[in-house]
Amino acid sequence: MSECWLVVGSPENWATAFEHKNIWGLKRTQRYLWDTLNEKDVLLFYVTSPVSGIVGHGTVRTKFHQDQPLWPQEVKEERVIWPLRFEFDVDRCLPFDEWQTSKIASSALFPRGGFQVLSYELGRQLVSKLKSLPKGYRVNAPASLSASETPAPYAEEPQQAEQVSPSHEQIKQRLVEIGRLQGYLADEEYVFDIGKLDVVWRRVERSVPTYAFEVQVGGDVYHALAKLKHAYDLWNSRIFIVASQANHNKVANLLSGTFHEISGRVRFIDLGTVEELHRRKKAYLDFERELGI
């Protein structure tokens, strides 16, 4: 069962969190809480004085480490105060100018705790109250699709063509384009302490990679997995190896042995899937533009 968390912050920090595509953070002393936090856990957005109430709710998307300042206090002091970060999806949130007048308050809450797990019953009641807000307050903020998800195809089906194996550079470029279509800062050849990652996607300029990809077109699968494992250990990145089906067994064998620590984290993407993913995402965005959304 998913936990329900009360996430407490100042109006300024919440504004920064939403501005930077829904990022929150905890102090190093709160590591035990961050470790307990899981994807799909429910979050209640509590804004401190002068609001003093809950203005929305959402769910945890992914966790990661950060070594660059983000919030106003961090930027002012030139140090990272909340390095244990996570991304979240917004299910519903009041408009900023309605925070004080329409917030949800409860005497059962103890916001001085900063970040705390709530009982299942209390969390359910508060989420229910938020869902009962007028429909106009609903935030239709679509979560970015993960690399393993694809929207329904809106473009016409392409004509059958002769299959041509894409090159290493072509796959990297497609992954960069997909990342940018999803609103990420996407880069090739991302340098870190043990080499270069083929492609990374980051939320903002001052953030570490949220997604890390290694592309294998006849390359060294062992070293590709080693770099992905290091990215996961450093930043808790979502890690992907992009290779042909011919390499699937090799990857599976390494994940069951040498790299068993990341066997449940790394995802395998077939080379041929990348082009299809790019086509569908582009068609989806083109369709939205046509509708003016």
Chain mean pLDDT for the chain: 85
Q: Are 115 and 26 in contact (CB under 8 A)?
A: yes
pLDDT value of residue 60 = 93
Cα dihedral 213, 216, 221, 223 sign? negative
Rounded CA gap, 202 and 179, in Å? 9
User: Which residue in 215, 232, 235, 233 sits closest to 223, CA to CA?
Assistant: 215
* C-beta of residue 17 within 8 angstroms of C-beta of residue 45: no
The answer to pTM > 0.75 is no
- Tokens for 79, please give them: 């140090």
The CATH homologous superfamily to which domain 4-137 belongs is ph1033 like domains (3.10.590.10)
- Strand residue runs (E) in the chain: 4-9, 23-26, 42-47, 53-65, 84-93, 115-118, 185-192, 195-202, 211-216, 238-243, 267-270
What are the sequence ranges of the domains in the chain? 4-137, 168-288
By C-alpha distance, which of 242, 234, 244, 182 is closest to 207? Answer: 234
Question: Using an 8 Å Cβ cutoff, are 222 and 241 in contact?
Answer: no
Task: Give the span between the Cα atoms of 285 and 52, in whole angstroms.
Answer: 38
CB 45 within 8 A of CB 11: no
Q: Write out the chain's pLDDT in tens, 293 residues.
A: 689 999 999 999 999 998 888 999 999 999 999 999 998 999 999 999 999 999 999 999 888 888 888 889 998 999 999 999 999 999 889 888 889 999 999 888 888 878 999 998 999 999 988 887 654 444 433 333 344 444 444 444 444 444 556 788 999 999 999 998 888 889 999 999 888 999 999 987 778 899 999 999 877 889 999 999 999 999 989 999 999 888 888 899 999 999 999 999 999 999 889 988 888 888 888 787 777 76
**What's domain 168-288's architecture?**
3-Layer(aba) Sandwich (3.40)
The pLDDT score that the predictor gives to residue 165 is 66
Query: Between 248-256 and 221-235, two packed helices, what is the crossing angle to 10 degrees?
Result: 50
Question: What pLDDT shows up at residue 50?
Answer: 93
Of residues 242, 218, 217, the one with CA closest to residue 228: 242
44, 127 in Cβ contact below 8 A?
Answer: yes
Q: Rounded to an integer, what distance in angstroms lies between the CA atom of residue 122 and that of residue 232?
A: 34
For residue 168, the tally of other CB atoms under 10 A from its CB is 15
Return the structure tokens found at 63: 């966790």
Q: What is the pLDDT of residue 167?
A: 86
**103-158 tens-digit pLDDT:** 999 888 888 878 999 998 999 999 988 887 654 444 433 333 344 444 444 444 44
Task: Give the separation between CA 235 and CA 268, rounded to whole angstroms.
Answer: 19
Q: Is 66 left (phi over 0), alpha (psi -120 to 50) or beta?
A: beta
pLDDT score for 164 = 59
- Would you give the DSSP letter of residue 90? E
* Per-residue pLDDT at 160: 46
